[in-house]
């Protein structure tokens, strides 16, 4: 039975074909060409608390190792709460992989002497890259203490005195929650770089324009060091929302809408996450960004797939990954 077109058009709405033909045209994002260089990648892991999580971490490491990242970083808990686990993971990376590890190091809750000793241990263990962060104070501690590094700027300066480390620092496209102003936050970033840091890695963000506008501000402030975008593929939206509220990252309304109703549907969440993160990095790549830092949460599958879409190919066969919620 053939129905008239008027029965398929909502009352008062513009006819379908007219709407399609009169609407704006959007060109596709360019795909990486075979002759163009793939972007440089780096990956962040966190030290495991249990044997099961240790296995998960090393499954992740072995899968992503095949992509030959520029470096991989290992996080450091508030007030040095994961100090020994971070150190053990980093040293194992040196001894058992071809990866270049970067150890996160925060200066809260420790004296300068303690921090310098930790840094010296890393250097002696073959670690040449530090991610220098101010970090958070341990619970119940109200100030750094006169004998501690007071800021990430001082930490960078101190690390330079210990050894010739490559140093990465943090950047905040949406402004650090404790910054006095966007201008003060940007000045703090410049001072960290001027103190001897090699690059900055951004806090996760979900609006690509936020990062691109931040680059404009950095250049206007005289910053010329690489500002590497930190990419967080989101599979657990509730968890990501909680994290974002703590660090001042804005979750756009459209993103919340896309995850709506998927709390009990992990497989669809994974597919939505892949599309969102892939669109984000491809848009940045089309704007000339040629380096990305992925917050893996010790789960390799989405990061591996997104890296493939960026044009990165493994240097060896990748171990199979079991899907996780």
Measured distance CA(259)–CA(302) in Å, rounded: 16
Q: Is 44 a catalytic residue?
A: yes
- Taking the C-alpha atoms of residue 219 and residue 240, their distance in angstroms, rounded to an integer, is 30
Cross-strand pairs, 129: 102, 166
Q: Which two tokens stand for residue 27?
A: 């060109």
Spatial separation of the C-alpha atoms in residues 16 and 5, rounded to whole Å: 9
CA gap 106, 131 in Å, rounded: 8
Q: Produce one character per residue of 248-280: b if its CB has 16 or more CB atoms within 10 Å, e if not.
A: ebebeeebeebbeebeeeeeebbebbbebbbeb
CB 121 within 8 A of CB 149: no
Residues 14 and 93: their CA atoms lie apart, in Å, by 60
Spell 282-293 as b/e; 16+ CB within 10 A means b: bebbeeebebbb
C-beta of residue 197 within 8 angstroms of C-beta of residue 132 = yes
Angstrom distance (rounded) from CA 295 to CA 257 = 23
Distance CA 226, CA 267 (A): 35
Residue tagged active-site, from 18, 33, 44, 183 = 44
CA distance 9 to 133: 57
**Dist CA 275 CA 86 (whole Å):** 32
For the annotated catalytic residues, the residue numbers are 44
């Amino acid at each position: 039975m053939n129905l008239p077109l008027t029965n398929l058009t909502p009352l008062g709405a513009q006819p379908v074909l007219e709407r399609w033909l009169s609407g704006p045209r959007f060109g596709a994002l360019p795909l990486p060409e075979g002759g163009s260089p793939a972007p440089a990648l780096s990956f962040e892991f966190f030290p495991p608390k249990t044997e099961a999580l240790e296995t998960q971490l090393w499954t992740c490491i072995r899968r992503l190792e095949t992509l030959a990242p520029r470096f991989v970083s290992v996080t450091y808990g508030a007030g040095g709460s994961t100090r020994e686990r971070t150190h053990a993971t980093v040293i194992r990376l040196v001894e058992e992989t071809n990866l270049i590890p970067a150890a996160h190091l925060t200066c809260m809750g420790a004296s300068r002497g303690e921090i310098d000793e930790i840094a010296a241990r890393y250097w002696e263990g073959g670690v040449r890259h530090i991610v220098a962060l101010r970090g958070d104070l341990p619970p119940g501690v109200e100030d750094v203490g006169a004998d501690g590094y007071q800021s990430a700027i001082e930490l960078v300066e101190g690390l330079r005195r210990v050894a010739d480390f490559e140093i990465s620092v943090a950047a905040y496209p949406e402004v650090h929650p404790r910054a006095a102003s966007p201008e003060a936050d940007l000045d703090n970033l410049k001072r960290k770089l001027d103190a001897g840091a090699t690059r900055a890695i951004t806090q996760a963000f979900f609006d690509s324009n936020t990062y691109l506008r931040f680059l404009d501000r950095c250049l206007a402030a005289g910053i010329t060091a690489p500002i590497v975008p930190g990419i967080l593929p989101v599979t657990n939206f509730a968890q990501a929302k909680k994290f974002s509220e703590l660090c001042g990252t804005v979750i756009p309304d459209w993103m919340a809408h896309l995850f709506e109703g998927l709390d009990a549907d992990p497989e669809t969440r994974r597919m939505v996450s892949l599309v969102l993160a892939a669109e984000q990095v491809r848009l940045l790549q089309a704007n000339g960004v040629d380096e990305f830092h992925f917050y893996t949460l010790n789960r390799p599958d989405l990061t591996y797939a997104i890296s493939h879409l960026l044009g990165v190919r493994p240097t060896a066969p990748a171990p199979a990954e079991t899907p996780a919620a």
